[in-house]
Structures are given as C-alpha cells and as structure tokens.
Amino acid sequence: MRSDHADQLAGAPNPMRRPRDLRREAAHGNPGGAPSRRRFAAGSSGRGSSGGEAGLSWPEGFAVEPPDREALLVLLHLASVTPARLLELTAEHRTARSCVAAIARGAAGSEADRSRARTLDGRAAMGKVAAGGARLVSVDDAEYPRALFDLFDPPAGLLVRGRSIAEPGEPAGWGSGARVALVGARNCSATGGELAGLLGSAVARIGGCVVSGGARGIDEAAHRGALSVAAPVSDPGYDDPTQGDGASGPVTIAVLGCGIDFAYPPRNRRLFDDIARLGALVSEYPPGTPAEPFRFPARNRIVAALSTAVVVVEGAPNSGSMITVDHGAAIGRDVYAVPGSPVSELAAVPLKLIREGAGLIRSPDDLLGDLGLIPLAADPDGSRPSGRPAVLSPPLDASPAERLVWTALAAPAAVDGVAGATGLPIPDAMAALVGLEVRGFIRQVGGRYERTIAAARP
C-alpha cells in the first residue's frame, strides 16, 4: 500500500508528530517548500544527493575524525537541534565540530542547548557510551543503514548495542537479510500476541530480521518470537558482537524511544539484554535520556525506514502504530495488516488499513509469500496462489468429549456455554477443557476459552 494517511488526517486533532508535521518543521523558513526525500540504490555509496536542497545531504567526512565523532555525540544531546535542523546547519558547517561551535555561538538551538554545546565534554560522553557496552554509528560509518537516507530527516548518528545493523549484501541464503517491522497495540489480546510471536519466529527462521520498538504487547511478542529461533548464547557457533565482527546479523532490532542505557518498559530489561546478545538495540538518543511520549513518534520513523515492510498486528483507534505506517508509506515501504473482528477495538487500525489497500495477513505464509521469501501454495482449484493458514482441526489425540468441545469453540465461550453447545454435563465439559488447555490447544482469557493459533495443523 502506498498511503497518504497524513493528508487524510490533516484535520484530525492528534498531538503525535506525523510525516507531514516533520516536513512542515523542515520547511519552516524555506521558501522553496518542504525538502525532498533522498533515495539510494542498493549499490550506491549512500552519500550522493537525489535532488532537492543541497543542505539535505550529509557532508562527506561529517563525523570521521575522533574529535568529530565526539562532537556528533554532543549534537545528539541537544534536544532542540532536530535531525532536520542539523541537516540545514550542515549546508554551511560541514563537520560535526563546526556545527557544535556554531550552535555554541547561537546559530541554532535553545539557550539551554547552546550552553550544553559549550560545556559538554564529548570525550567523557563517548567513554560513557563505551562503558555501557554501546557504540556510536555515524552517517560516515559502513554500519550505518543506507535505508535511513530514505527519510528526509535521517539521524546523524545512532547508538547501538549488539550485532551490526549494517544492511546485508547479497543474501547468503533464501530470504536472508529481509527486515520486517512488526508493530501494534501495547494492550494486545492473547491471540494478537501469539500471532506476533509466530510472525516474528517465521521471519527469523528464513534468515530475516524483525524490527520493532521494544514496547510491551505486540512489539515484545514479535521480538521474543524472533529470539526463539536464534542460536542460544551458549552455542559455540554464536557470534559474540563484543568479540569482533561476527558473520551473523541481528535476528531482531529494537529501536528505543529513550537512551541506549534505559530499559523501558522496565519489565523488558531481560528481553533487551537478550536482544543485545542476538540482535541489536538502537537509539538516536544518548545515554541518560529518559523515555518521554514525544520521543516515540520520532522513534517510529526509524522502525519504518529500517524495514522492507511494515506489518500491523493489532491497533486501537489513534494507535501509535499508525505513525509507523505513515512513515513507511511515505518512503515506499509495503504495508500489511492482520484482520480482526469488526467489533473488536483492537481491530480498528488493521481493518482501516486493509480497506485502504494494505496487504491482508492471515498467517506467516501469507507474509513470507507476499514478500517473495517462500513460494505461495496453490488453492485447491488452482485458481490463484495463496498463503492460506493451516486449518484449525481437532487434535489428533482428542477424546470424543474433547472433539465436541473443540468444535464448540469456533468462537470464545465460557464453560456453561460450551456445556450447552455440546450437551455435555458441566463437569465433563470442564474436564475436556482442562485436557485441551494443558496440552496447549486452547487457553482461558477473561473466563472464556478460545483456540490457540499454535494448535493449527495442516
């Protein structure tokens, strides 16, 4: 889908910054209008300009020398100097050191940031980054993903913990190198979380990488799904990123809306440690930056740009996942959505996107097939290729009572509803439900039982 959601929502009150808001900011004071985005072919150097304002190309050698890298880290501490504003500044000041000096003299930034530019010790800040197990990746580094240049406000640098985030070259194997953003509701349903995990594991299993935001809910489930098929840390074949450049890329990338040293939400601290070992944590914010609401929409543009496609699993009205979709559609990323019940609030965003042209995802095969990572099977009549999901059939080892209960759970139901639909006495229905639940074929959510996706079999 190539969407212009931002234009459609121009009159809607929304405090979150969307692509059109960023373009307006970048165009402020620019009589020529909004700056054009830059796009680079896979084989390009990532440093040329595809047109537009000359100041929108990061200068060669902007942060190559150690003093300039330290100056870049100082720039990342200046909240009022956005990437778009910094790009404008580089039209006249061609290195990070020159930009810091210009800001210190009052050329840009708030008074607090001007003072910070004069006093912050870049070398000490760099030491703090290294002490936290992270590294600075600048626009001059080979590790910097060129896909970020599709944004009109690509970050000048990123802080990274974990494996290299460099874009892979020619795929080493089938599907190797594909990056897919899986995003959705924080307060997701059990089914939504399960499907996000299945999609994440499917992408990782074919050698791809799951990109998300590290939040609870769909993000967390997608990351965990990818990690579930990764090599264990104890595996002798595991490439430790702290021991040189391993050949393996990240199975998942979490883009944070806070400093690289923050675990937000705190409950995901162990998850972030696992991602740092088998994937990568990424942030455009320096250590010590707290998680604040306005940082997450900016984070979402990086999630979208790093990915080949954006998939929304669940999302209520006004969900932040729409910001990721807007950014993705604005830079030509494919958009997909997982449908849900029309009466479910969590299905509002996916159903809206599908109606507007997003690809419909029912299963991992749908996603991988649409991305060209696996061949699509033919429908029984041979009419068209399909990534149809596995059929939910009763478990092969189910007892007669369990088969009756399974059939009754075509929709979620409470115990008395199952008993009424099957004609079984409540104790017998309860026994069958427990038997199916302990074997993972159904689960209980809010006093009602429902089938699990993982129970599906061809």
pLDDT for 457 equals 47
Clarify whether residues 417 and 298 are in a common domain.
Answer: no
Domain shared by 372 and 412, yes or no = no
- pLDDT at 456 (0 to 100): 55
| pLDDT the model gives residue 342 | 93
CATH number, domain at 405?
A: 1.10.10.10
pLDDT of residue 88: 93
Q: Give yes or no for residue 106 having a pLDDT over 90.
A: yes
Domain boundary among 356, 386, 416: 386
Q: Looking at the predicted structure, is the pLDDT value of residue 303 above 90?
A: yes
User: Which residue has better confidence, 223 or 385?
Assistant: 223
Is residue 26 over pLDDT 60? no
Domain residue limits at 405: 400-455
Residue 315's closest CA among 350, 281, 291, 290? 350
Same domain, 72 and 184: no
Residues 193 and 273 in one domain: yes
Q: How do residues 35-53 score in pLDDT, each as one tens digit?
A: 332 232 222 334 433 333 4
Supply the CATH number for residue 363's domain.
Answer: 3.40.50.450
Residue 454 has what pLDDT? 65
Cβ atoms of residues 451 and 406 within 8 Å: yes
Q: Pick 453 or 185 by higher pLDDT.
A: 185
291/427 same-domain check: no
- What pLDDT does residue 455 have? 60
Q: Is residue 137 part of a domain?
A: no
Instruction: Give CA–CA dist 223/36, Å, rounded.
Output: 33
Boundary of a domain, candidates 131, 150, 167:
131
Residue 191 and residue 64 in one domain:
no
Confirm whether 418 is domain-assigned. yes
377, 263: one domain? yes
b/e map 215-250, b = 16+ CB within 10 Å: bbbbbbbbbbbbbeebeeeeeeebbebeeeeeebbb
pLDDT band at 318 (very low <50, low <70, confident <90, very high): confident
pLDDT tens digit sequence for 403-441: 888 888 888 889 998 998 899 999 999 999 998 988 888
Who wins on pLDDT, 245 or 255? 255
| Separation CA 377–CA 356 (nearest Å) | 26
Q: Are residues 344 and 238 in the same domain?
A: yes
Contacts of 160 (CB under 8 A, 6+ apart): 134, 135, 136, 137, 143, 260, 280, 281, 282
Report yes or no: 69 and 126 within 8 Å, Cβ to Cβ. Answer: yes
Domain end, chosen from 131, 163, 189, is at 131
Say if 360 falls within a structural domain.
Answer: yes
357-398: per-residue pLDDT in tens? 999 999 898 999 888 876 544 444 444 344 444 446 677 788
294 plus 360 within the same structural domain: yes
Burial class (CB in 10 A: 0-12, 13-18, 19+), 58: buried
Is 332 in the same domain as 290?
A: yes
332 located within any domain: yes
pLDDT surpasses 90 at 168: no
Tell whether 157 is covered by a domain.
no
Q: Tell me whether residue 22 is in a domain.
A: no
Q: What is the 3-state secondary structure (H, E, C) of the chain?
A: CCCCHHHHCCCCCCCCCCHHHHHHHHHCCCCCCCCCCCCCCCCCCCCCCCCCCHHHCCCCCCCCCHHHHHHHHHHHCCCCCCHHHHHHHCCCCCCHHHHHHHHHCCCCCCHHHHHHHHHCCHHHHHHHHHHCCCEEEECCCCCCCHHHHHCCCCCCEEEEEECCCCCCCCCCCCCCCCEEEEECCCCCCHHHHHHHHHHHHHHHHCCCEEEECCCCCHHHHHHHHHHCCCCCCCCCCCCCHHHCCCCCCCCEEEECCCCCCCCCCHHHHHHHHHHHHHCEEEECCCCCCCCCCCHHHHHHHHHHHCCCEEEECCCCCCCCHHHHHHHHHHCCCEEEECCCCCCCHHHHHHHHHHHCCCEECCCHHHHHHHCCCCCCEECCCCCCEECCCCCCCCCCCCCHHHHHHHHHCCCCECHHHHHHHHCCCHHHHHHHHHHHHHCCCEEEECCEEEECHHHCCC
> What's the confidence (pLDDT) of residue 38?
29
Q: In this model, does residue 268 exceed pLDDT 70?
A: yes
Write down the pTM of the prediction.
0.76
Residue 371's pLDDT is 86
If asked whether residues 349 and 432 sit together in one domain, one would say no
Residues 303 and 440 in one domain: no
Cα distances (angstroms) measured from residue 48 to each of 41, 137, 237, 444: 11, 19, 38, 56
Number of domains making up the chain: 3
59: in domain: yes
Q: Would 155 be classed as within a structural domain?
A: no
> Of 420, 448, 423, which Cα lies nearest the Cα of 433?
448
Cα torsion angle, 301, 303, 309, 310, sign: negative
